[in-house]
Amino acid sequence: SRWETRLKSSAKPRSCTGHTVLVTGAVGFIGAHASVALKRRGDGVVGLDNFNRYYDVNLKHSRKSKLLDRAGVFVVEGDINDDVLLRRIFDLVQFTHVLHLAAQAGVRYAMINPNSYIKSNIDGFVNLLEAVKSITEPPAMVWASSSSVYGLNSKVPFSEKDRTDQPASLYAATKKAGEEIAHAYNHIYGLSITGLRFFTVYGPWGRPDMAYFFFTKDILNRKEISIFEGDNHGTIARDFTYIDDVVKGCLSAIDTANKSSGNGGKKKGEFRIINLGNTSPVSVHKLVRILEKLLKMKAKKKVVLMPRNGDVALTHANISLARIELGYEPRMDLEMGLKKFVKWYLDYYDVKKKSSW
Ligand code: NAD
């Protein structure tokens, strides 16, 4: 069929050394950027996404038409819980890697729809691992964990050996569960699995549910923005990591993944968990100051002296392991990166700026 022809042609690498990668969550923020980067360097890429409505689905359609279609990445609309669909895709194409980014993201939404986290981050993940392990030569899996697994651990910077047994949100709990599920699949079936713990990823085409994004929107609309602080006035800070740095880390994780020699084979794939952060946390107040400067507008700040449920106070990555394993080195500082985000935002939403300085 036409569908199969398009899928197969998108999956074909440009050279014989290129990889063939299935990217789940392909019209998501990180998935769209990663798919384009893989395709640009000559890998074959097939995207899979259910275009869920957790946030503005128009943005997902725009990422598809403006980024993925232009790069020539074919996207299958479907769910990782659909095992018939997964089998059909894996029957059509022999993938070398799966970059698994599909998930229910966000910390606060778990209080509204807890089951969506279990469905995508646990059931869906297991479903995908089951499909992968059934392939004679299973692709290596690189997937998105999260800095949120460090939870209430207060020892910073976070290193991969630190405790992760105190999640502060259901989201974090499902990411932590994912790491343990992945370990079991590595142990039993020898699947090669790399879990990347992303730290607050931001940039053009970003997620509207994240603070830097809705602060920008609210500042432009002269709306009050709430800044949550613990009752001890502890300021919240995040290790903001620019999208291009994270994508480089993902590509390098794909390139360095050691492959198992299949179900019956002797060589067991490796199991890795690696932080991908920026190693320089910035407070929410500083974030707002940078946005004010870039937008040339004053924010109406309201400080709320109450910790926001599910949020941890500080995230800060130790990236020694990423340096060794992936040759990873974050390049973008927050002000430069936000400048690129703001430029994209004003352009995408066609905002005519009225300065209020
Ligand atoms: P995103 O929400 O933009 O992308 C996720 C995509 O997955 C969405 O397009 C969604 O439609 C799709 N999806 C969700 N459930 C699905 C399912 N069951 N079947 C098929 N598709 C499904 O989020 P993102 O920021 O691009 O995050 C990508 C990954 O990185 C996620 O696993 C997220 O948890 C993780 N992560 C992101 C950050 C960050 O700061 N952005 C930080 C830590 C971890």
> Tell me: the pLDDT tens digits for 153-178?
889 999 999 999 999 999 999 999 99
Tell me the average pLDDT across 50-71: 98
φ, ψ of residue 195 to 5 degrees: the values are -100, 125
Tell me the average pLDDT across 228-246: 85
The pLDDT of residue 353 is above 90? no
Distance CA 314, CA 283 (A): 9
The pLDDT of residue 126 is above 80? yes
Q: In this structure, which residue's CA is closest to atom 9 in ligand 1?
A: 28
> Ligand 1: which of 201, 239, 245, 246 to mutate, most ligand atoms within 8 Å of CB?
201
pLDDT of residue 357: 45
Residue 175 identity? K
Residue pLDDT, tens place only, 5-35: 999 999 999 999 899 999 999 999 999 999 9
Distance CA 172, CA 302 (A): 27
pLDDT of residue 266: 61
Q: What is the mean pLDDT of the chain?
A: 94
The pLDDT of residue 112 is above 90? yes
Q: In this structure, which residue's CA is closest to atom 25 in ligand 1?
A: 29
> 117: CA distance to ligand 1 center in Å?
11
Burial of 49 (0-12, 13-18, 19+ CB in 10 A): buried
Q: Give how far Cα 72 sits from Cα of 12, 14, 62, 67, 75, Å.
A: 11, 12, 14, 9, 10
pLDDT of residue 154: 83
pLDDT of residue 138: 96
The pLDDT of residue 131 is above 80? yes
The ipTM, to two decimals, is 0.99
Ligand 1 cavity residues, CB under 6 Å: 24-25, 27-31, 49-52, 60, 79-81, 101-105, 120, 124, 144, 146, 198, 200-201, 207
Going from N- to C-terminal start, the domains of the chain cover 2-198+242-276
Question: Which residues does 325 contact at the CB level (< 8 Å), separation at least 6?
Answer: 253, 256, 272, 274
Q: In this structure, which residue's CA is closest to atom 19 in ligand 1?
A: 79
Which residue of the set 109, 171, 328, 345 is catalytic?
171
pLDDT of residue 263: 52
Distance, first Cα to last Cα, the chain: 58
Q: How confident is the model at residue 233 (pLDDT cuts 50, 70, 90)?
A: low
Active site residue 171: yes
Burial of 62 (0-12, 13-18, 19+ CB in 10 A): middle
Q: In this structure, which residue's CA is closest to atom 39 in ligand 1?
A: 201
The pLDDT of residue 269 is above 60? yes
Atom of ligand 1 nearest to the CA of 143: 32
Domain 2-198+242-276: CATH superfamily is: NAD(P)-binding Rossmann-like Domain (3.40.50.720)
Which of 104-118, 229-243, 244-258 bottoms out in mean pLDDT, i.e. has the lowest?
Answer: 229-243
> Ligand 1: which of 99, 101, 196 to mutate, most ligand atoms within 8 Å of CB?
101
> 264: CA distance to ligand 1 center in Å?
32
The pLDDT of residue 195 is above 80? yes
Residue pLDDT, tens place only, 286-322: 999 999 999 999 999 998 887 777 888 899 999 999 9
Question: Which residues does 40 contact at the CB level (< 8 Å), separation at least 6?
Answer: 71
pLDDT of residue 231: 58
DSSP-based three-state secondary structure for 124: helix
> 102: CA distance to ligand 1 center in Å?
5
Give the length of the chain: 357
The pLDDT of residue 232 is above 80? no
The pLDDT of residue 262 is above 60? no
DSSP-based three-state secondary structure for 58: helix
Tell me the average pLDDT across 330-345: 98
Q: By C-alpha distance, which of 301, 298, 293 is closest to 334? A: 293
Atom of ligand 1 nearest to the CA of 27: 9
Tell me the average pLDDT across 74-90: 98
The pLDDT of residue 271 is above 60? yes
Residue 64 identity? K
- 155: number of Cβ within 10 Å: 11
